Amino acid sequence: MSAGIESAEGPLTIGLDLGTTGAKAGLVDASGRVLGTCSVPIAIDTPAPGWAEQDPEAWWNACRTALKGLIGSSGLDPSAVSALALSGQMHGSVFLDARGEVVRPCILWCDQRSAPQCARIVERVGTGNLRSWVSNPALPGFTAPKILWLQENEPDECERVSTLLLPKDYVNYRLTGVVATEFSDASGTLLMDVARRCWSLEMIEALEVPRGWLPDLRESTDVIGGLTPEAAGETGLAAGTPVSAGGADNACGAVGMGVTEPGRVAVSIGTSGTVLAPTEGPECDPGMRLHSFCHCMPGRWYLMGVMLAAGSALRWFRDVAGEPEVSEAGERGIDPYELLTATARGAPPGCGGLVFLPYLSGERTPHADPDARGVWFGLDLTKTRAHLVRSIMEGVLFGLEDSIDIMRELGVPLEHVVAGGGGSRSGLWMQMLSDASGFPVSTASTGDTAMLGAALLAHVSAGTFRSVDEACRETIVHAEVVEPDPPAAGAYRAAHERYRSLYPALEDLFGA
């Protein structure tokens, strides 16, 4: 048994994060300390341009392997695990037949094939009904357009469908034999009445989705069942181990960052970028620029803005023009991003008028435009490599600030930013985030916020804590707070206005 297990405080739970590129299992004690983890990669299939699929069996193999590896490496007695909960990638469509067998590979959140179906949903339902019935726009990432695509393109497979599940719910099904989902993940299907926390019968009828396909809705901390003997044999856990309903990855990530109550804002700078703000009641942006979803606890919702290229914009620069940093980093045994961000310090806030639009993969918030593309504006002979790198970092922050500004416009309480994702490891980026937003910024205590959040949900279901809020207050510790610098904040305000003026001027040229 590892020393970490011997020093564990209170009950133990497991959080299992089913991401797009891998599954990670983590053992967490009652103090919120992560005692051990095990990760297994998962491949993405791209059978056609713009398509992205995964075989749900690959999820199961990765999850059971991660769980078995965690138990084996920790030397833990499986019976010591009080509960297990999953965090999962959102929006994916898992179609099961009457025997519980997968009908076809899952169409993922990043798959773009259903854009024509989104247009037909808008024609059939109307923007006003989308707002009032499901609180969100019709986007290819959501689940409902994928159903229409199946109806129109694979009618034989569609005839076989008996049940629709989301990715983590399929793994829960393999663990327990129980078919169920929960509010935070179901919010992203475009089939749920987010405000009333129930399936939208109007939307289901309008899209001709069989009501019997949709599973029961549960709270994230509800125990949906115990581990079956077969699943216990495959995972190394004890039969009967309680399995909670779990939550969507963004919601679980917010729990793992301690962002469950209004006032705090979770900002994640990963491959993509997100801004998530909890609300006490259901809120819907009239322009539906923000997503409106249920949080992982009763009586709590959140608004979320998404930008499609955040950290990936800096990675793009590293890959196409970062050979000097990559080479030096290899020689010194450090991360190339350390050198890139050090280079960025050579340019002033606002980059002397140089602006970068980070629309390298299209954009989601506030411009739902898959044709939007990256742009540098303001290049001249005085601009250096430092200006290029810093402008990318600033462009990402301005994209995140667009979402924060919409939240301000809607009157959402905003007092403090908690940052996560790979970008939160950069002290410069965190200072820039504080300066640009005007808020104090602290960083998450772990990079595995979704896994930690799922483990805390399991702790609540096991009775370690009375609520998710209490679990976060008792366990989440943030790093030192970064305060905004007023002179830099003024430079960023002017630069952000310049940034914001560019998309309307270029919109008609994108996709031309």
Chain segment 452-461, per-residue pLDDT in tens: 999 999 999 9
Tell me the C-alpha distance between 290 and 279, whole Å.
13
CA distance 58 to 64: 10
Q: Identify the residue whose tokens are 């749920």.
A: 192
Model pLDDT for residues 353-381, shown as the tens digit of each residue: 999 999 998 898 999 888 899 999 999 99
Round to the nearest angstrom and report the end-to-end CA distance of the chain: 62
At 447 the pLDDT is: 83
Confidence of residue 8 (pLDDT cuts 50, 70, 90): confident
Q: What is the DSSP letter of 180?
A: E
Is the predicted pLDDT of residue 187 greater than 90, yes or no?
A: yes
Q: How many Å apart are CA 235 and CA 61, to the nearest integer?
A: 10
SS3 258: coil
Structure token pair of residue 27: 């053992």
Share of the chain above pLDDT 90, in %: 89
* Mean pLDDT to the nearest integer, 132-158: 96
Question: What is d(CA 72, CA 132) in angstroms, rounded to the nearest whole number?
Answer: 49
What would the pLDDT profile of 403-430 be if each residue is shown by its tens digit? 999 999 999 999 999 999 889 989 999 9
Average pLDDT over residues 73-89: 94
Architecture of domain 311-443+482-509: 2-Layer Sandwich (3.30)
Helices (H), 300-384: 311-321, 323-332, 336-344
> Whole-angstrom Cα distance, residue 111 to residue 198?
26
Cα–Cα distance measured from residue 360 to residue 370, given in angstroms and rounded to the nearest whole number: 10
Cα–Cα distance measured from residue 126 to residue 461, given in angstroms and rounded to the nearest whole number: 40
Structure confidence at residue 7 as a pLDDT band (50, 70, 90): confident
What letter does residue 76 receive in the DSSP assignment?
A: -
Maximum distance among all Cα pairs of the chain, rounded to whole angstroms: 69
Cα(495)–Cα(25) distance, rounded to whole angstroms?
A: 42
Q: pLDDT tens digits for 91-108?
A: 999 999 999 999 999 999
Residue type, 205: E
311-321 vs 336-344: helix crossing angle, rounded to 10: 100
Of residues 442 and 4, which shows the higher confidence score? 442
The phi, psi pair for 94, rounded to 5°, reads: -105, 110
- Cβ within 8 Å of residue 507, ≥6 positions away: 367, 369, 372
Give the pLDDT mean for 34-57.
94
- Which is nearest to 295 in space by CA: 248, 348, 341? 248
Kind of pairing between the strands at 247-248 and 81-88 = parallel
Task: Give DSSP secondary structure letters for 374-412.
Answer: -EEE---TT--HHHHHHHHHHHHHHHHHHHHHHHHHTT-
CATH of domain 3-257+445-475: 3.30.420.40
Can 3-257+445-475 and 311-443+482-509 be said to share one CATH topology?
A: yes
Determine how β-strand 180-182 pairs with β-strand 216-218: parallel
Residues 22-26 have a mean pLDDT of: 96
- Predicted pLDDT at 479: 82
Of 313, 327, 323, the closest CA to residue 357 belongs to 313
Q: Which uninterrupted H or E stretch holds 268?
A: strand 263-269
- Domain map (residue ranges) of the chain: 3-257+445-475, 311-443+482-509
Residue 150 φ/ψ region, left for φ over 0, alpha for ψ in the -120 to 50 degree band, beta for the rest: alpha
Which residues belong to the active site? 249
Query: Shortest CA distance to 292 belongs to which of 54, 202, 283?
Result: 283
pLDDT in tens, 470-484: 999 999 988 878 999
Contacts of 508 (CB under 8 A, 6+ apart): none
Q: Give the model confidence (pLDDT) of 292-327 as tens digits.
A: 999 999 999 999 999 989 999 999 999 999 999 999
Tokens at 427, concatenated: 């002290």
User: Quick one: pLDDT band at residue 2, thresholds 50, 70, 90?
Assistant: low
Instruction: Tell whether the model's pLDDT for residue 198 goes beyond 90.
Output: yes
Residue 105 to residues 94, 168, 215, 242: CA-CA distances in angstroms? Answer: 7, 15, 19, 28
What pLDDT does 4 receive? 64
Residue 6 pLDDT greater than 80, yes or no = no
- This prediction has a pTM of 0.92
| 115-125 vs 127-134: helix crossing angle, rounded to 10 | 90
